[in-house]
Amino acid sequence: MKTLHVLSMIWKNGAEIYRDESDGRLTLKNAKLVPEDVLKAADPIFDEIEKWFKSWEEASAIDKTLMKMVHQACGWQHNPKLNEWICKDIEALTLFIEWQETLSKNGWNDIYEDYRQYENDESNTMKKKLYDSAVLYANQNK
């Protein structure tokens, strides 16, 4: 099973997986909420999950914002502030859809695949505009 598929099932069941700052290990909060078959699916791909988390720890704020947008759109992780912004800013919502279409044209056709490998100059320009819009909205609504 793909890494993002397993993570999405963990998140959708109300659990949280994060890096514990005290020892640097991945920690599963509310593991009791996750069905046993999901936990069993996560076990053999733990190294891939670890690698996925590591790749995002080193990502830029722009990349992390778009990751949160994808997770919100997929229903994996909810972000009320991001959701409020994207629902109020139709231009940003349209740009987000166009960004996804650009990635799709580049071969991204599976939400459980990391979209970053399908980015190009065009999608990166859109991504920067989305991030700038999110920052502007956040600063205006403090």
pLDDT in tens, 37-67: 999 999 999 999 999 999 999 899 999 999 9
Q: Look up residue 129 and give its amino acid.
A: K
Q: For residue 26, is pLDDT > 90?
A: yes
Q: For residue 1, is pLDDT > 80?
A: no
E strand residue ranges, the chain: 16-19, 26-29
CA distances from 18 to 24, 50, 61, 123 (A): 9, 10, 17, 28
Q: For residue 142, is pLDDT > 90?
A: no
pLDDT in tens, 59-84: 999 999 999 999 999 999 999 999 99
pLDDT in tens, 90-105: 999 999 999 999 999 9
Helix 61-74 and helix 121-140: axis angle, to 10°? Answer: 90
